[in-house]
């Protein structure tokens, strides 16, 4: 794996430190990391297109972060998920209107996330379609709101890259880099949300609508309110977010309650048991054909099982989340599938989530029952290396040597000693930019780059410099059609 093309700032730093210059030989802009190239290539797959799945099933990919599908029934249309906003949904409806002029008779929400429910009003205009969901829709978003929790919105914006300028965004791993038109696209209810008119509690509800039969099947996984839709006549399964072409986001770094990993695998198993011929994911392009469908769902289920089983085994052996996150590696026969590459979720985050999902925050090592405060630890570390100046020098050396993670950790000690240290903020921002460019996982990459921008702004205001700031951290995300 290549280290990123060095910025002018880092190159100067290397020269100043007398570091070997071979690492700085790349010219700015001429070489991209493997991770950057692979993520850029993903954008092609995420392109906007109305994909025909069967003669009466179509999926709009790339019109909105989430897919919107339509089943053309005998008397009307069944719309599966609605995109993030009414403006996106209107464009999808226009595309559907090139296929059929039948009225929308039903809308199905596969789960309560805003990128799947926020466009509903556009499909409900001028008619009163049935709106179906499992009971308890968006329990996660409601729980955050009732706790008064708001930090999830800032973390969500970092994960989504919503505050980054366009040139720093590639895609979101499973979607093109849209910007939301409301503050909480993951949990909040957008203007276009329409309350369900029909909900169900049982495992499977078979309904007749628009002259066709569809099955709505409870499928907890990415969310507890998830369902998959089975259209038996055409043998199509609409998976919601329990499947997309990326390593599953078993834990979102914006923060979320435990996603039941075992239930997730079991939900995929139930989809497999339907023996589908086509798979329509919640994001990314449909998989067409029985072999592709079976191969993808089987490998996805097996990958989730693998991480779960290995984590539980390690936990029983007394290993900590830090150890397990480093030690558990997805086997090569699963890694060979591009739909299991870590574009969106990351296996290590899943491992940590399984640990804390079952055992909570305590890693089992009594050292960590009452650890030193961050400032207390930093004071001792600084003492050990010969004072804060030596610590700063060590952080810069780590950065110059390409050990960006260590540089970030040392910068955290410096900031624990002096939270206003502009030098430490700059070191940490430099480190995050290196880490970002070497990470395939778009959510983590966006998070690094957003925090790097936040640090640079803070450093600038500490240094009292006057400069233009391209994005105001207090401003809401910019809307975009
Ligand atoms: Zn989604």
| Mean pLDDT across 5-16 | 40
Domain range holding 128? 47-317
248 has a pLDDT exceeding 60: yes
Q: Average pLDDT for residues 402-426, to the nearest whole number?
A: 97
Give 234 Cα–ligand 1 centroid separation in angstroms. Answer: 24
Q: What are the structure tokens assigned to 324, written together?
A: 């397990």
CATH code of residue 182: 3.60.15.30
In degrees and rounded to multiples of 5, residue 9 shows phi and psi of -60, -45
Tell whether the model's pLDDT for residue 172 goes beyond 80: yes
d(CA 80, CA 66): 11
Is 244 domain-assigned?
Answer: yes
> What pLDDT does residue 26 have?
46
pLDDT at 253 over 80: yes
**pLDDT, average across residues 363-382:** 98
Query: Six-digit token pair at 429?
Result: 């921002």
* 263 has pLDDT over 50: yes
Q: In angstroms, how far is the first alpha carbon of the chain from the final one? A: 37
257-276 exposure pattern, b = at least 16 Cβ within 10 A, e = fewer? eebbbbbbbbbbebbbebeb
**C-alpha of residue 393 to centroid of ligand 1, in Å:** 43
Helices 422-437/388-400 angle, 10° precision = 20
In the predicted structure, residue 380 carries a pLDDT above the cut 70? yes
pLDDT of residue 18: 36
Specify whether the backbone of 81 is left (phi greater than 0), alpha (psi in -120 to 50) or beta: left
Q: Is residue 402 part of a domain?
A: no
Which pLDDT band, with edges at 50, 70 and 90, does 188 fall under?
A: low
Percentage above 90 pLDDT, the chain: 85
Query: Ligand 1 centre and the CA of 268: distance in Å?
Result: 16
Which range is least confidently modeled, 25-39, 224-238, 372-386?
25-39
Q: Which residue has the tokens 């339907």?
A: 274
Q: Where are the alpha helices (DSSP H) in 53-181?
A: 86-96, 114-117, 120-124, 139-147, 151-160
| Both structure tokens of 45 | 């797959």
Q: Quick check: 226 pLDDT over 90? A: yes
Task: Look at residue 309 and tell me if it is in a domain.
Answer: yes
Distance 239 CA to ligand 1 centre (A): 11
Ligand 1: centre distance to CA 112 (Å): 9
Cα of 467 vs centre of ligand 1, distance in Å, is: 37
Taking the centre of ligand 1 as the mean of its atom positions, its distance from the CA of residue 264, in whole angstroms, is: 15
Summarised one tens digit per residue, pLDDT across range 81-111 is: 999 999 999 999 999 999 999 999 999 999 9
Is 196 contained in some domain?
yes
Say how many Å lie between the CA of residue 283 and the centre of ligand 1: 6
Average pLDDT of span 109-117 = 96
Q: Is residue 284 part of a domain?
A: yes
How far is the centre of ligand 1, averaged over its atoms, from the C-alpha of 269 (Å)? 20
3, 24 Cβ separation under 8 angstroms:
no
CA 65 to centroid of ligand 1, rounded, Å: 7
How far away, in angstroms, is 108 Cα from ligand 1 center? 14
Strands 130-134 and 212-218: unpaired
Cβ proximity of 250 and 264 under 8 Å = yes
Report yes or no on 57 lying in a domain: yes
Residue 441 lies in a domain: no
pLDDT band at 467 (very low <50, low <70, confident <90, very high): very low
Please, where are the H alpha helices in 386-471? 388-400, 404-417, 422-437, 442-463
pTM of the full structure:
0.89
Asked whether residue 464 carries a pLDDT value surpassing 90, the answer given is no
Q: Is 78 a member of any domain?
A: yes
Domain total for the chain? 1
What confidence score (pLDDT) does residue 9 get? 41
3-class secondary structure per residue, 131-164 = EEEECCCCHHHHHHHHHCCCHHHHHHHHHHCCCC
């Amino acid at each position: 794996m290549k280290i990123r093309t060095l910025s002018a700032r880092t190159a100067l730093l290397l020269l100043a430190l007398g570091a070997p210059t071979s690492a700085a030989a790349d010219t700015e802009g001429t070489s991209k990391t493997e991770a950057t190239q692979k993520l850029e290539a993903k954008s092609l797959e995420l392109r906007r297109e109305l994909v025909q799945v069967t003669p009466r099933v179509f999926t709009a990919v790339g019109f909105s972060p989430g897919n919107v599908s339509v089943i053309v029934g005998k008397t009307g249309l069944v719309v599966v998920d609605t995109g993030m906003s009414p403006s996106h949904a209107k464009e999808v409806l226009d595309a559907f209107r090139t296929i059929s002029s039948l009225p929308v008779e039903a809308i199905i929400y596969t789960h309560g996330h805003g990128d799947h429910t926020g466009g509903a009003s556009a499909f409900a205009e001028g008619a009163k379609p049935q709106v179906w969901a499992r009971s308890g829709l968006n329990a996660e978003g409601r729980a955050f709101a009732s706790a008064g929790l708001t930090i999830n919105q800032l973390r969500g914006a970092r994960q989504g890259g919503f505050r980054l300028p366009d040139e720093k965004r590639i895609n979101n791993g499973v979607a093109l880099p849209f910007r939301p038109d409301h503050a909480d696209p993951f949990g909040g209810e957008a203007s276009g949300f329409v309350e369900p008119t029909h909900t169900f509690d049982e495992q499977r509800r078979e309904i007749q609508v628009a002259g066709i039969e569809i099955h709505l099947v409870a499928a907890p996984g990415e969310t507890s309110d998830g369902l998959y839709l089975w259209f038996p006549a055409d043998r199509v399964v609409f998976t919601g977010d329990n499947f997309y072409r990326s390593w599953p986001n078993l834990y979102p770094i914006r923060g979320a309650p435990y996603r039941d990993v075992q239930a997730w695998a079991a939900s995929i198993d139930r989809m497999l048991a339907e023996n589908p011929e086509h798979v329509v994911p919640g994001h990314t392009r449909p998989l067409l054909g029985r072999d592709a469908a079976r191969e993808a769902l089987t490998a996805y289920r097996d990958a989730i099982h693998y991480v779960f089983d290995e984590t539980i085994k390690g936990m029983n052996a007394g290993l900590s989340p830090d150890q397990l996150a480093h030690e558990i590696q997805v086997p090569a026969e699963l890694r060979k599938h591009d739909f299991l590459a870590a574009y969106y979720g990351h296996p290590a985050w899943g491992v940590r989530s399984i640990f804390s999902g079952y055992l909570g925050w305590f890693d089992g090592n009594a050292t960590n029952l009452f650890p030193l405060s961050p400032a207390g630890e930093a004071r001792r570390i600084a003492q050990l290396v010969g004072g804060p100046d030596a610590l700063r020098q060590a952080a810069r050396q780590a950065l110059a040597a390409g050990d960006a993670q260590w540089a970030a950790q040392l910068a955290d000690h410096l900031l624990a000693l002096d939270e206003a240290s502009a030098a430490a903020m700059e070191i940490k921002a430099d480190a995050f930019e290196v880490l970002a460019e070497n990470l395939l996982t778009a959510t983590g990459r966006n998070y690094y780059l957003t925090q790097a921008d936040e640090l640079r702004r803070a450093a600038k205001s500490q240094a009292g410099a006057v400069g233009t700031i391209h994005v105001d951290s207090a401003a809401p995300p910019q809307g975009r059609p």
